[in-house]
Structure 1
Amino acid sequence: MASGRRDIRRENQVMRVFLLFLALFFLGHSVFAGKDLPLPRFVSLRSGEVNLRVGPGSEYPIEWILKYEKMPVEIIREFGVWRKIRDFEGIEGWVHQSMLSGARTVMVLEDLVILRKKPENEASGLAKVPAGVVGKLLECKDEWCRLQAEGYKGWLPRTKIWGVYPAEFRK
């Protein structure tokens, strides 16, 4: 009988430690997700369908539905768990923070831009990228940014993409 009580106590201790760990994980995640980060900043859409509301709350009407997963957006304001964002066309609205990802992406603005092997105008081309393509931002050097898009990794001029600030990632 004493052995059974010890097993129950041990299970209770293990459960308490697990619950404490779980609580600290979620508390830490909510505290650091978006806290004290600079405004404005670029993030990306987490989902292929994101409701853009006229105010910071689910009681506000939906004005737009963004249907482009991983599209870069700019956070321009914060209110609790709500983020006011702007897309590449200047459309603004409020979304819940859970609909956004910290993954950095960029959108190609001009049609058939040449993705180059090196950050130079004379470098050989890898592919012609159409306007609207979203790529993963890898790095930027001076006037060029390296991205992964359409199955290629290459360089595009900053002026041809949206989702990175002019002075960001300068080397």
Structure 2
Amino acid sequence: MRARIIALVLALVAGTAPAEPAEGPVTGLPMPRFVSLKAGEANARRGPSTAHAVDWVFRRAGMPLEVVAEYEHWRRVRDIDGVGGWVHYALLSGVRTAIVLDDLAAMRTHPGGGREVARLEAGVVVRVPECAPVHCRVRVAGQTGWLPAGALWGVRPGETFD
């Protein structure tokens, strides 16, 4: 512990910040990463235990959240507005979702083109089962289509998954 503190002080004096860890110390999963809110309500606390005060309450099941830290059974998360806190991991899901950023974003049948399936308002939460570097397949209200990845919060630029 002392060596870590000394390394941090030396890095601050040298004007360099230590690099963020590439993976979470508890799960080994990438950090930061996106998850979704499993529960319809979740307390965001000041610290990683029920002894800490509740600063915020998330009330939208499926909302995408970004995990920025881990400690035992707790994950520090933030939402699209940067608001957050420590949430118990049981209230989170690995199901990928995203928030539409562009107003009236055209959801299409194929990546980068095809017939328009729907127009989505900014703020709509969509499921994201697949992403290519430029476009993501999304599902909402029984419709499936593709949106540009840049029109979504909950997906990293160039991120791919399926």
Structure 2 stretches lacking a partner, 5+ long: 1-25
Partner amino acid for 2:66? E
Question: Which residue of 2 is the match for residue 82 of structure 1?
Answer: 74
Partner amino acid for 1:95? V
Structure 1 stretches lacking a partner, 5+ long: 1-33
CA distance in 1, matches of 2:106, 2:66: 25
- 1:35-77 per-position Cα deviation (integer Å, ceiling 9, x unaligned): 2112111110011111111111111111111111011111100
Aligned-residue CA RMSD in angstroms?
1.6
Question: Which residue of 2 is the match for residue 161 of structure 1?
Answer: 152
CA distance in 1, matches of 2:132, 2:31: 22
Q: Which has the higher strand share?
A: 2
Q: Which has the higher helix share?
A: 1
Question: Which residue of 2 is the match for residue 146 of structure 1?
Answer: 137
What is the aligned length? 137
- 1:92-111 per-position Cα deviation (integer Å, ceiling 9, x unaligned): 21100011011111111222
- 1:106-134 per-position Cα deviation (integer Å, ceiling 9, x unaligned): 111222111111111x4221011112211
Question: Which residue of 2 is the match for residue 137 of structure 1?
Answer: 128
Asked if the contact 2:133/2:159 (under 8 Å) is kept, the reply is no
Asked if the contact 1:142/1:170 (under 8 Å) is kept, the reply is no
**TM-score scaled by structure 2?**
0.79
**TM-score scaled by structure 1?**
0.75
Asked if the contact 2:107/2:119 (under 8 Å) is kept, the reply is yes
Question: Which residue of 1 is the match for residue 15 of structure 2?
Answer: none
Runs of 4+ that moved beyond 4 A = none
Q: CA deviation at 1:170?
A: 7.3
**Alignment of structure 1 residues 71-110 onto 2, 5 Å:** 71-110=63-102
CA distance in 1, matches of 2:108, 2:135: 10
